Amino acid sequence: MKESRISLRWRRPRIETLVFPGVTILLSCAILFPLGFLVYGAFSITPIGTPNEGYTLANLIEVLSNPRYLQAIGHTLITASGSTLLASGIGISMAYLVARTNVPGPRLIRMGVMIPFFSSPFVGALAWSLLAQKDVGLISIVMSFFGLPAINIYSVGGIIWVQGLFYAPYVFIFCTSALYNMDPSLEEAGHMSGLNRRQVMTRITIPLIAPAILSGMLLTFVSTAGQFGVPAVLGTPFNYYVITTYIYDLTMTYPSRFNMASSLSFVLFFIVALGVWVQNRIIQGRSYTTLSGKGFRPKIVDIGGWRWVAVGFALTFILCSSILPLLILGYVSVVSLYTAEYSWAFLTLDNYRDLFFGNDMNLRAIKNTLMLAPSAAMLAVVLAIVINWVTLRTRLRYRRVVDYLVMIPVSVPHVVLAIGMLWTYIYLPLPIYGTLWILLIGYVTGFIPFAVRNVASTFMQIDKSLEEAATMVGANWLRTVREVTLPLLKPGLVGAWMLLFIIYVRELTTSIFLYSPNSEVMAVMIYNRWAEGDYGPLCAMAMAQVFFIGAVIFLVGYIFKVDISRSLAQ
Amino acid sequence: MKASKEKGSISSPTSRRSFLKSGVALGLSSICGKAATDESRRVTLYTSMPSKYSNPAVKVFNDLNTGVHVDVFYSTTYQVLQRVIAELTADRLIADIMLIADPGPYLDLKARGELLDYVTPHIDMYPPGQRDVDGLWVNGRTIATIFAFNHRVLSANDAPRSWEEFADADWANMLGAMDVRQGGTAYSWYYSTRNHPELGVRWWKKLAKTNLVLTRGHGALMDRMVSGELPITEQLDYYVWEKVRNKNAPVAAVYPAEVIPISLAPISILRRGPNNEGAKIFYDWWLSKHGQETIAGINGIYSPRSDVTPLPGKPPFDSLNTMDIDLTDFSRSREALQKEFTQIFGL
């Protein structure tokens, strides 16, 4: 009798039993529906939206047999590999110098290396296309003054150069994180066992940070293979097509060849998926336990006179990746018309006046960006906390599926994902299409892997027993998260939010496919100014973008007392 | 004392929480706030007309206080078209009016019954070649394709004067043009010159040997011409005219004698658009004398209306050697000609 009374009593469901499956289902829909359109497009005889007339492999066969597509695939592999190698060379050496040597001004160098991250590779490509203009660009003038051959920025080397410079911070972030968190006692043990400095480096340090380096390199490879802006600015003018520019052209010609574009994006998907698989194979069996986040003070290596060579190297990188591009963008933004002549007489603030007072659309784009980027970053971080809880703290049966699911957007070029999202939300009978919501959802969906990975790295540093203790004394899930997990995660979460905020302010590909009247954002305005041939307003907007990112980083760093360059490297 | 200072500081926990809360509230309320706008007054124009021209033109209309407010969505010709097609397919049209520089899609949309059966009262001011036979679309802008050169790099005496000279080997590595597959005006250039009895495919093959730089739009070409990096480029006449008038750009236009390819940029109301009645008011204004004078003045284009005063500094439209285009053939030949172009340039 007593037993039956207990079983009949209604028990309020625990909040996590609703939140975990709820978030999983929502994310599954947000990620898989757009991909569904892609798969359908790749195998359907008829374009999306027209009556289905059956399925075919012809598109995929065409993509894999037509020399033009194969060439684009080859170009993608060349530029992505080249950029990854350059970015890794710069990123790894900078990370080592900053984290483990007595190079002067490591904090300044760390900030300097991060600056390219504040502006998009697309804007970087535009800046470099101005700097290295044939005969008239600043670099060309300096090169010819010293009797050196001119640089042709519209070349494979040019694409690799710009992508390498602008993705170096990615590798740098991953490597500094690993180097800061590495237990120095392992290296000390090496020294005590009679190994010299080089042997310690090759046998202990490098193997220990290899997984982090590989993750950084993989992220760079994936991102550069999916890059659209740089090859569009620097490759198309000499008829050099990579997969993304080809996909864009296939969808943006009339009549559009979306089915072919979908098939081609499948190839990119496989290239990237292969990269992820290779990384997993290499990392398999290696332990991350040295990344304990206990705040070790790593041993600093004295590099003697090489310190100044290192400073020179760092300054050259900062000059090429930040100072020169910002100088040229800044100059073009304060002249009425850029004619490759440099004079104080040309200076004017007209472009800025037009940006802030002359055009409603510009102001709206700034407002939308400053609203969307923080909101989307916040939402992505919240989702990342829930997802990481599911995958790292529970034994739910679907946790492995969630783990794979949230990584899918890494493998899909954003050009393709954006087209899939456009079709998804046009068909979805909710007031999302044509509003800012579609951009918010697009941003969160496209970059959820970044949020999850970034939050995961801090999650792994918290001892599970603290949360378990809270649960044991009766706290429910929400209270445990609020009172134990979040305070411990705070620096990492601020870093993750910041990373996403920066990405969203710069984000171009998703925005350009999903924006509508009244939902313009800054990156779209920059792209449109480029398409319209208006360097002045373009550069003013790009400078404003860099300014806003810098200001928010400073402000948030001040309010939350977080060293951003360090917390990004979590 | 210390406590009160802490409380007032922006980095205190209380302030941080309220900072976060207000930030989130502001973000969400602004995103949601979009739905509150008065939909009955709103008309949406989807256009490939560069926003630096379409925005001021639309602002003139909005300032007339007709009771209709026009919002603009600008993108490249085919991106606008893809968006319209996607919205039509899903039966979720946001666009009321479409204005892109390619008449081909209007023929398709009319055949599919997607254009509103509405004839503007200004229809008689537009000659037959400038409008649909049933008046469902009308040419809203006339765009001429020419070429231009940087006169700081080349003197007028040295510069090419005809399409034939434009393609001369002397200009190898100095020429730029828009990719024919990327837009209506570029395709119109290809169509007109390729079908020209003196130029034809021969001329295009000759041009391909100059290492011509192909770009996605005329804007990037203009920038590179102004800076002298690419001294001679195929251009749209209004781009050159406007850059010289507003920015005193060091470029000069050449109107080649053989042929001036003309592109129509039709305007029409989409039948399934949300606000047909509002759209009619804007559509009629665009095609009115006041509308056309405003647009010509801002955009530097030739107006298809005969009663609009030509702009100073441009040759009269009648003096241009244009070619009559059969729009049906123009539309049908597209895929074959695009393929021919890619073969000539090895793309």
Q: Is A135 on the interface with B (CB under 8 A)?
A: yes
Nearest to A447 by CA among A30, A25, A42: A30
Read off the pLDDT band of A495 (50, 70, 90).
Answer: confident
Three-class DSSP category at A562: coil
Contact residues for A303 (Cβ-Cβ < 8 A; gap 6+): A101, A102, A103, A310
pLDDT of residue A291: 40
Amino acid at A397: R
Q: Is A246 on the interface with B (CB under 8 A)?
A: no
Distance from the B125 Cα atom to the nearest Cα atom in chain A, whole angstroms: 30
Would you say residue B31 has pLDDT above 80? Answer: no
A339 with B227: Cβ contact below 8 A: yes
Residue window 287-316, chain B: list those with CB within 8 Å of chain A.
none
- For residue B220, give the nearest of A375, A433, A530 by CB distance: A530
Read off the pLDDT band of B235 (50, 70, 90).
Answer: very high
pLDDT of residue B8: 43
Model confidence over A211-263: pLDDT tens digits?
778 878 887 888 888 888 899 989 988 889 999 888 888 877 777 788 888 88
Would you say residue B17 has pLDDT above 60? Answer: no
CB pairs under 8 A between A and B: 174
pLDDT (average), residues A162-166:
94
Cα→Cα distances A248→A234, A262, A386, A557, B95, Å: 15, 11, 35, 38, 23
A561 chain-B contacts, CB cut-off 8 A: 11
Return the percent helix, strand and coil in chain A, to nearest 5. Answer: 75, 0, 25
pLDDT of residue B44: 95
A236 with B181: Cβ contact below 8 A: no
B43 chain-A contacts, CB cut-off 8 A: none
Q: Is A359 on the interface with B (CB under 8 A)?
A: yes
pLDDT (average), residues A457-483:
75
Q: Is B1 on the interface with A (CB under 8 A)?
A: no
> Beta strands B175-178 and B262-269: pairing type?
unpaired
Residue window 203-222, chain B: list those with CB within 8 Å of chain A.
213-222
A239 chain-B contacts, CB cut-off 8 A: 214, 345-347
What is the spatial distance between Cα A396 and Cα A16, in angstroms, rounded to a whole number? 11
Distance from the A224 Cα atom to the nearest Cα atom in chain B, whole angstroms: 21
Distance from the B179 Cα atom to the nearest Cα atom in chain A, whole angstroms: 9
| Contact (CB, 8 A) for A560 and B16 | yes
Mean pLDDT, chain B, rounded, equals 87
End-to-end CA distance of chain B: 74
- For residue A237, give the nearest of B71, B79, B214 by CB distance: B214
pLDDT (average), residues B256-265:
93
A136 with B71: Cβ contact below 8 A: no
Q: Is A487 on the interface with B (CB under 8 A)?
A: no
